[in-house]
Structure 1
Amino acid sequence: MIVDDHPVVRDGLRGMFDHVADIEVVAEASDGFEALALARSARPHVVLMDLRMPGLDGVGAIQRLRESHPEIKVVVLTTYDTDADVARAMAAGVAGYLLKDAPREELHRAVRTAAAGGAVLAPSVASALMSRPAAPDPSPRELEVLRLVARGSANKEIARTLLISETTVKTHLKHVFAKLGVESRAAAVVVAMERGLI
């Protein structure tokens, strides 16, 4: 599903996916409220979400989507890569953050990666996350949890796999976020990969 308040942008994005065999645009929305309504009926696997829209903005829509449809992956597609915008989006729990000047192939790859449970960040966003001061590396157990996150496992699955409680999984992730200086699972995976930790 494409969510953007500019019809021209939505048309352009739809055109980029028109002849891609494994990706289908199932819905378009012009703001966050419309996106939430359409998510119920269209059931998209991935949402490409603009950040700045009238009514309910991108971050507000992402937060509500995460609550009502946690299985839907959201990739931010915006013209803004300021630290504040990135931090708010990451904290809301996005699967990726791309800029609108991303080439067509990168958009296709981002949708596929997000659908498979992976994380995607624009280079400028990744380097901004990387330039934060480094804290101690995560412990071996924390990295085990993060590896499972990178494979797309939910907390419940991670708890089952590692024979620990969901609360313990959440605690490990909280420590990982603090040590890597990030605020979301997607950002943690990307930063850990960049540093060669996983």
Structure 2
Amino acid sequence: MPVTLLVADDHAFTLDGMQRALSRIDGVQVVATAHNGIEAIVLARAHRPDIAVLDIAMPGANGLEVVVELRRWSPGTRCVIVTGTPAPGVLRQLQELGVCGLFVKSADPQEICAGIARIVAGETVIAPEIAMRIAEETAADGLSERELEVLQMIARGLTNSGIAEALSISPKTVESHRASLMRKLRVHSVAQLLIRAVRDGLVSV
């Protein structure tokens, strides 16, 4: 008996391509396609697919919301996310919800299909790029309140002396916080630190 799949993406070209590619996996049958999150939930309730392959950014309900709803309406459905660039924290939320696959849209289609074939066989597959991003988000959560203050002031262009004066600490302590920030966020320059901080919403600019 084939493993049944639902595929959801709001871009028709992407949806068609994914349907065709996934249909070629041995033992797989694509039973429904959805163009938005609400349609994905409705079709999942109707078909109870074994696996739902979902985009994150969809109108009506995003991928995260669809996963939550499928836990309620089709608990036997295993969820796979194929995404572009999700907002900070979303990937880890999806992992905590127990999705069985996380892939990036920019990956080679053959790699995505090979990963989904492994999921069909019962595995959980997290693409290396996404595993790294989740690790980075986890590291960012480990920042202290003082480190976040220092990071915000670095983003405003203050020097070590200026930060030290503003926070009533020594420049040496500021340098220690700066080094700790770079270590925790796995960057090697102030430029990389600021790019990472803005990307992950750690500073307001």
How high is the TM-score relative to the length of structure 2? Answer: 0.58
Q: CA deviation at 1:48?
A: 0.9
Find the counterpart in structure 2 of residue 53 from structure 1.
Answer: 58
The C-alpha deviation readout for 1:88-118, integer Å capped at 9, x for no partner, is: 3223331121011222332223323333442
2:12 corresponds, among 3, 7, 10, to 7
Query: How far 1:127 moved relative to its partner?
Result: 1.8
Is 1:73–1:115's contact at 8 Å kept on the other side of the alignment? no
- Taking the aligned partners of 1:88 and 1:21, their CA distance within structure 2 comes to 31
Alignment of 1:118 onto 2:136:
no
Q: CA deviation at 1:81?
A: 4.8
Structure 2 CA distance for aligned equivalents of residues 74 and 52 of structure 1: 15
1:43 to 34, 38, 48: 48
The partner residue of 1:23 within 28, 37, 55 is 28
Q: Taking structure 1 as reference, are residues 52 and 26 closer, same or farther at Cα in structure 2, changes over 3 Å only?
A: same
2:81 to 76, 79, 82: 76
Residue 95 in 1 paired to residue 87 in 2? no
2:30 alignment partner, SS class: coil
The AA in structure 1 aligned to 2:56 is L
Q: Percent identity?
A: 29
Matched position secondary structure for 2:61: coil
Change (3 A) 1:70 1:18: closer
Partner of residue 34, structure 1: 39
Asked whether the equivalents of residues 81 and 125 of structure 1 are also in contact (C-alpha less than 8 Å), the reply is no
Deviation at 1:30, TM superposition (A): 1.2
The one of the two structures with greater contact order (alpha-carbon pairs below 8 A, sep at least 6) is 1
- Give, in whole Å, the separation in 2 of the partners of 1:6 and 1:24: 21
Q: Gaps spanning 5+ residues in structure 1: where?
A: 136-198
How many pairs are equivalent?
134
Cα distance in 1 between the residues matched to 2:22 and 2:119 = 15
Say whether the 8 Å CA contact 2:31–2:49 is kept in structure 1. yes
SS at structure 2 position matched to 1:54: coil
TM-score (norm 1): 0.60
Higher CA-based Rg: 2
Corresponding residue for residue 106 of structure 1: 111
Residue identity opposite 2:120 in structure 1: A
Could you say what the CA RMSD is over the residues aligned between the two structures, in angstroms? 2.2
Secondary structure at 1:55 match in 2: coil
Measure the CA separation in 2 of the matches of 1:19 and 1:116.
Answer: 15
Question: What is the CA–CA distance in structure 1 between the aligned matches of 2:127 and 2:82, rounded to whole Å?
Answer: 10
Q: Using the TM superposition, give the Cα deviation of residue 129 of structure 1 relative to its aligned residue in structure 2, in angstroms.
A: 3.2
Residues in 1 aligned to 2:78 and 2:7: alpha-carbon distance in whole angstroms = 12
For 1:117 and 1:20, how far apart are their aligned partners in 2? 14
CA contact (8 A) 1:83 1:128 kept: no
Shift of 1:56: 1.1
Whichever residue aligns with residue 70 of structure 1, its letter is P
Task: Please tell me whether residue 129 in structure 1 is matched to residue 134 in structure 2.
Answer: yes
- Which one-letter code corresponds to 2:11 in the other structure? H
